[in-house]
Structure 1
């Protein structure tokens, strides 16, 4: 113990901290941090700091080595979740070099595109059921920010070689036979595939070629330039129709002005390298406004007949080429800023009426010949024409946990999305306003057309934080280099089939996914089933996506993954991808909450956690679970219990009745659509101690990246009353100021003289002050907000003072997932008698609950 304490003192000397209120600071000292080596034992504020320092010692680092300790059993009892495992590299299947026809290091598809929950597949359904683990493929085929050393080569020579039997594409895991004249398919086993002569001979240059250098034999993920056989028409141009709510409620939010300003500054960012992009506008209240953009100035055509909507002009007059009509479009946007305001005489007496359904039908008519994207900004409840909704239905109260997640109130939007899919039309929804807004129903359109939903509860353009968030999210969306008119199909080795699919898409056939729009970082999941015993050494999964880039290129992306087959259940556990595994369980739980009840989804997660831990104890450790049994798990599943508890405590599965229905629905939407890099932190946020971060944190490294502070466990035991903490989940950033924060910290961070002057609430940004601490914190926040992994979402920023606004303080505490969370009318809790897991359950109580259920 003395050695550990000495190590603690050694580590602590390398850190700089804000002093506690009891620590004297020399008046002549200009730097708010203490000099190195001047900390004393009195600086230790809680025993938990000692635990934190011990976790950083070399002994612990040895245990966290994923290469040497993947078969290391971790005891869950009495220990905090090992959050450092979130930083481990993405696990990949361990295959021999002889599995591929070349010695390429890139023969396996990178897991950022396609990854499996199990990196060793059981050879039978019996073995899979025994493990209790899910077998699924997580797919992100069009990532926004490809990591370094991940190359997707483009094959442009027109040679696209496919299996004659199963139509899968040639890949690094085929075998050449008959002296290299034929190849055997690794997916179906067919040996009747001829090798194209162009693999070995260039008829144009009359020179021999090296077939082993071909990209499709060296890379597990390749792009083909599609040949005419893959195109039924010329590539679709990017076409954008903006449908804007101009009802009284929309005008009161001020969102129209922000939208116009955002588009004015973003027109040059819309992908339009070849000058093919087209754009149009529709405004909607109790009538539909079309805008002619082919004259010298915009022309408004109002259509009050909404029962049988038709286009008042030719589509070429209402949807114009952006490059040719940019001046007219800018003129219209400038007019929109002043047309629909509370000061505009025309709209001072406007009723809060909205005919969204007919407006959407009109927008689809404009896009029927080309396809494209409808971007809808809706602030009121549609109450006229087809698709109208009623507040009584939206506001109906549900018994906590007894309602369906994302339950739509109208069938119109589902049938309309089917029409959109046939025309290759995608819909994105920006939803504003109060609880009257029906997020569940409006999300049906993005759900089945490959779009996205953004929700802004209580939005007001007078709030600079709200204004900045909407402004930047619009800019991110319109400049996104999306994929268009896509289809996705996954093929597996004999004996493995895709049984269910999750994500935003529609079906063309039972196994073909249709996406009118492929958003960057779009995430999808396929659950697999083992129908018969797998006899080969390896199993293969190949996913193909045929799509058009926004630059007019028709491409085929082919992603092939090779996974070893095992007969031992222990190999299955040691090769599990736990993040992928938990996300697969989340998809399945969401499906149950959508089909049955929210509580059913929550209970499914609870049961799966218990089943997996029980199966591991029985099948790997060889111990029949009992009250005296220790709860151990493999290192590869170290975070599974913590992440499942985080899901149970999320707004999606919160069954206490404390979460508004719209917020619960939004959370379910995000769990279904976020890219995995953001999904992980959305359910399990990052907590940083700003007042005691290292001197390197917040600075730029040699790769021009911001160095982040050390992450802390999500427990109030980590909080000190004199401290300053930042917690973020990709959608919000909260800065917590302790009640005993020293004046120097308040001055350096917020430009106030003492903690009593700190104001809680949303802020667009922290003040930029001329001191190192402010510069480093602002750089950290900027990094969190501009990181490309954040997709189209921009995190809001809040300052939370301890003993300040009770609601903000409670909101901050709900992110501390390892703690018990208090709810209204909560009863006393005892882990030994607990019969249901909810937000009141701490991580340690959750572990005891699993042990008792086992």
Structure 2
């Protein structure tokens, strides 16, 4: 076997780095991830350390020689795969004692790759090496044995795997190969070009079928011209690098409208027999090549704006179930995406929903209903049929309480899609129409993964227990993903079935998928974590943001299967249990009435994040949050990308009137410099101040009631604060002064930053003494304050969490332990 040398080990060439590796190899594999991890943080009397939100994800500490090449890239980046614990307990008893969740958070297809596809090395040499026993892929943490002729699997320990000859001999160049430079032995995340054994059929083209509601309600909202303009503007940006992309259109009201696009002009074909839907023309006439039929598609979109300009011939009947079945028929030969726009309740034909059932949901005692509770079984069965054909659905839902978001979300939930909800949408509102246009453009332009399956393997003794996210599950442990959106997040709860052996544990997730360009890849992500016998190391090596998210997934499961109140109680009791375990097992005391409540720095934000979850719209049981709003919040908590999730849970508040002079300007890399965030407390608000709070879904600009005329003039071109109107606006006016330019730059950065995925935050101006509803809405984002709720018909005696201040919450935790 050819031996490694200094000029052939990637990222290991400098003398300084060699010394660092030598030093690391002598350190304990379970040492803290960063300094001061073991330093106790007194919580009582102190505001949350919100600056810790900006810290990078903790890095697991493993020996340098844990990987066969000692590459700096051997560990899978946390962007793709992250564990709640960066040190794994050696047995289940230790895990139970800590009360910490053990979960794996996955984001296998992050959006950052759209900017740089080469971030994940692509292996195209044709050699795909897997363990003969467990079928795990070779990775940087295997070991070569028997003089390099065989390799030992780090996942299952099997030691009779043959090393491929190609690792030492390049049969194309007929020269010696350097096995130590192969990407799969140097990188924890790689893409293999899939061979024929991983394909049941050739990669299919990206196909999109748009299902558009044309009922009277949809026409009143004005969605049709807006979405038509958005699609016209995006037609050249739909992923189509190989020229194979195809599109089709269906409109739905009392009947299903198909559109023939194979001729010079579009042709409408109405199908009134909604109980036995079938295709009125050949498949090739209804789903056409985007390049070949571009002029006809643009003609149709232009006509849609006129055809449904008024509701003279429109009805209130909606046969969405039949339209969805028709869309699946169009996509069944190839798979693809249904992108559905719905503004009215499906009320006729298969999948018809009852407004009575929705009314019952809305009037159920607060906290006693289920979250995301569907009212029809049709949509789950339809999703199963879609999965078999590799069909995914994305839902754009409009309206208020007369539509059933929870039921319509069932299809994206089980096909890997996304749901966007626009309550009270009105196209005449420029803010609403701008948001819809941009979110449609983002979604249809997205380079997605298609026809994917995903599986995770663990070291012996570890097992995958529960799975969370938008997918279908196939026994024993395979996730079926007809569509893998950029930044889609998944969570796997792990369990320890028997005592772990050795010093290191391994997790390997493999995803077989097709790109929008028709390339078939296998993405392999391998993570190595130290095993510890010390409970202190569990706490010092916890990732608190991942921990909060894993707890949220588990609470959502309880809210979906039991009641919303059960989910809230789980979050509260779990937090108390973790704090109690730390004080008992690490500090060695139980807090008394006069004692301080301490946790380690790596858990200092957990109580604040859990309180934020308890106050979220998804778990709010005061009766003031409409069912559809709570449903959408639950959907976001389940599906948002990791980079945006913590911001949605715990918004950022910025003080603009006194921000540093460099805030709102560009740094050397042309990135906007953000002002420092401040704690979410009304104590931070000054009457003359201007503040911005944002959570990735909305941006609220607060104008104090004593704001000086100069601030109003510079920001809004208004002379006096009492002339400022509260409400939604598409953007701030473009004024020629430094303050306006800096604030607009900050807002633009918040709206266009890649971390925002397919969502475009709405912008609202809130005057302190203006519209009371908007003022109260802004104040609900100040999560560290005590909140007051007016009683109403649905208000019941609820758990007190929604109204607690941060300090009351800490006192409640202390009393509970």
1:395 aligns with 2:359: yes
**Structure 2 SS opposite 1:240:** strand
**Structure 1 residue aligned with 2:297:** 329
Post-superposition CA distance 1:602-659 (Å, at most 9, x none)? 0000000100000000000011343333210000001000000000000010011010
Task: Decide which of 818, 821, 841 is 2:784's aligned counterpart.
Answer: 818
Deviation at 1:536, TM superposition (A): 1.2
Structure 2 CA distance, aligned partners of 1:788 and 1:626? 46
Residue 167 (structure 1) aligned with residue 135 (structure 2): yes
- In structure 2, the partner of 1:240 is 208
2:707 maps to what in 1? 741
Secondary structure at 1:264's aligned position in 2?
helix
Aligned to 1:288: 256
* Contact kept in structure 2, 1:113 and 1:139, CA below 8 Å: yes
Counterpart selection for 1:628 from 594, 611, 630: 594
Secondary structure at the counterpart of residue 453 of structure 2: strand
In structure 1, the partner of 2:65 is 98
1:372 matched to 2:372: no
The match for 2:22 is none
Kindly indicate whether the alpha-carbon contact (under 8 Å) linking 1:740 and 1:755 is maintained by their aligned counterparts in 2.
yes
Q: Please, which of 253, 276, 283 is the counterpart of residue 308 of structure 1? A: 276
Alpha carbons of structure 1 residues 149 and 131: separation in structure 2 relative to 1, 3 Å: farther
1:663-720, Cα deviation, whole Å (9 max, x unpaired): 0000000000000111110000000000000110000110110000000000000000
Q: In structure 1, how many angstroms separate the alpha carbons of the residues matched to 2:502 and 2:139? A: 17
Once residues 194 and 151 of structure 1 are traced to their aligned partners in structure 2, the CA distance between those partners, rounded to angstroms, is 29
* Secondary structure class of the residue paired with 2:236: helix
Alpha-carbon distance between aligned partners in 2 of 1:354 and 1:331, rounded to the nearest angstrom:
25
Shift of 1:433: 1.2
Matches of 2:459 and 2:809, distance apart in 1: 39
Would the aligned equivalents of 2:372 and 2:631 in 1 still touch at CA under 8 Å? yes
Distance in 2, Cα, partners of 1:767 & 1:845: 41
Q: Give the equivalent residue in structure 1 for 2:639.
A: 673
| Match 1:594 to one of 560, 581, 588 | 560
Which digits, 9 at most, give the CA deviation of each residue in 1:25-51, with x for residues without a partner? Answer: xxxxxxxxxxxxxxxxxxxxxxxxxxx
Alignment match, 2:120: 152
- Hey, what's the Cα distance between the residues in 2 that align with 1:149 and 1:843? 43
Instruction: Give the CA deviation at 1:351.
Output: 2.1
Which of residues 827, 832, 840 in structure 1 aligns to 2:803?
840
2:89 pairs with 109, 122, 127, which one? 122
Measure, in 2, the Cα distance between the counterparts of 1:355 and 1:394. 18
Instruction: Give me the whole-angstrom Cα distance separating, in 2, the residues matched to 1:753 and 1:837.
Output: 43
Distance, in Å, in 2 between the alignment partners of 1:318 and 1:524 is 35
- Which residue of 2 is the match for residue 111 of structure 1? 78
Contact in 2 for aligned 1:401/1:599 (Cα 8 Å):
yes
Cα pair 1:181 1:194 within 8 Å, conserved: yes
Asked if residue 251 in structure 1 is aligned to residue 214 in structure 2, the reply is no
Indicate if the aligned counterparts of 1:405 and 1:593 stay in contact, CA closer than 8 A: yes
Map of 2:108 onto structure 1: 141
Q: Does the 8 A contact of 2:86 with 2:542 survive in 1?
A: yes
- The 10-residue stretch of structure 1 (162-171 or 349-358) with the greater mean CA deviation from structure 2: 349-358
Q: Which residue of 2 aligns with 1:226?
A: 194
Shift of 1:434: 2.1
Deviation track 1:69-120 (CA, whole Å, cap 9, x = no partner) reads: 1111000010000000001111121001010001210000000000000000
SS at match of 1:67: coil
Cα distance in 2, alignment partners of residues 265 and 625 from structure 1 = 61
Give the corresponding residue for 1:27.
none
- The separation in 2 between residues aligned to 1:851 and 1:721, in whole angstroms, is 34
Give distance in 1, aligned partners of 2:411 and 2:235. 25
Rounded Cα–Cα distance in structure 2 between residues aligned with 1:625 and 1:132: 17
Q: Which residue of 1 aligns with 2:153?
A: 185
| TM-aligned CA deviation for residue 349 of structure 1 | 4.2
Matches within 5 A, 1:683-762: 683-762=649-728
Compute the displacement of 1:251 (Å).
Answer: 0.5
Range with greater deviation from structure 2 (507-516 or 729-738):
507-516
- The alignment of Structure 1 onto Structure 2 pairs a total of residues equal to 779
Q: CA deviation at 1:840?
A: 1.1
SS at match of 2:112: coil
CA shift, 1:395, in A, is 1.5
2:21 is aligned to: none
Counterpart CA distance in 2 for 1:671 and 1:510 is: 26
CA distance in 2 between partners of 1:275 and 1:218 (Å): 35
Question: Which residue in the other structure is 1:52 paired with?
Answer: none
Equivalent of residue 755 in structure 2, options 782, 786, 789: 789
Contact 1:66 1:88 in 2 (8 A): no
Task: State the Cα deviation string for residues 757-790 of structure 1 (Å, max 9, x = none).
Answer: 1110000000010000000000000000001110
Structure 2 match to 1:350:
314
| Displacement of 1:150 | 8.9
| Correspondence for 1:60 | none
Change (3 A) 1:315 1:610: same
**Would you say 1:268 and 2:236 are equivalent positions?**
yes
**Matched position secondary structure for 1:191:** coil
Q: Does residue 509 in structure 1 map to residue 475 in structure 2?
A: yes
- Equivalent residues of 2:99, 2:578 under 8 A apart: yes
Say whether the 8 Å CA contact 1:655–1:838 is kept in structure 2.
Answer: no
In structure 2, distance between residues paired with 1:226 and 1:694: 52
Match of 2:737 in 1: 771
Equivalents in 2 of 1:308, 1:288: separation in Å? 11
State the secondary structure of the residue aligned to 2:473: strand
Q: Please, which of 458, 462, 472 is the counterpart of residue 492 of structure 1?
A: 458
Structure 2: which 5+ runs fail to align?
A: 1-31
User: What SS does the aligned partner of 1:839 have?
Assistant: helix
CA contact (8 A) 1:448 1:504 kept: yes
Partner of 1:852: 815
Cα distance in 2 for partners of 1:735, 1:744 equals: 16
Instruction: Sort the Cα spacing of 1:705 and 1:66 in 2 relative to 1 into closer, same or farther, 3 A.
Output: farther
Match of 1:201 in 2: 169
1:357 offset after TM fit, Å?
Answer: 0.2
C-alpha separation in 2, matches of 1:149 and 1:370: 25
Asked whether the 8 Å contact 2:191–2:522 carries over to 1, the reply is yes
Query: Of the candidates 127, 131, 136, which is equivalent to residue 98 of structure 2?
Result: 131
Q: How far apart are 1:149 and its partner, in Å?
A: 12
1:67, distance to aligned residue in structure 2 (A): 3.0
Query: How far apart are the structure 1 equivalents of 2:218 and 2:593?
Result: 59
Considering only aligned residues, what root-mean-square deviation do their CA atoms show, in Å?
1.3
- SS of residue in 1 equivalent to 2:376: coil
Q: Using the TM superposition, give the Cα deviation of residue 66 of structure 1 relative to its aligned residue in structure 2, in angstroms.
A: 7.9
- Are residues 837 and 121 of structure 1, via their aligned partners in 2, closer, same or farther at CA, if it must alter by over 3 Å? farther
Q: Deviations over 1:215-236 (max 9, x none)?
A: 0000000000001100110001
How far does residue 510 in structure 1 lie from its aligned partner after superposition? 2.6
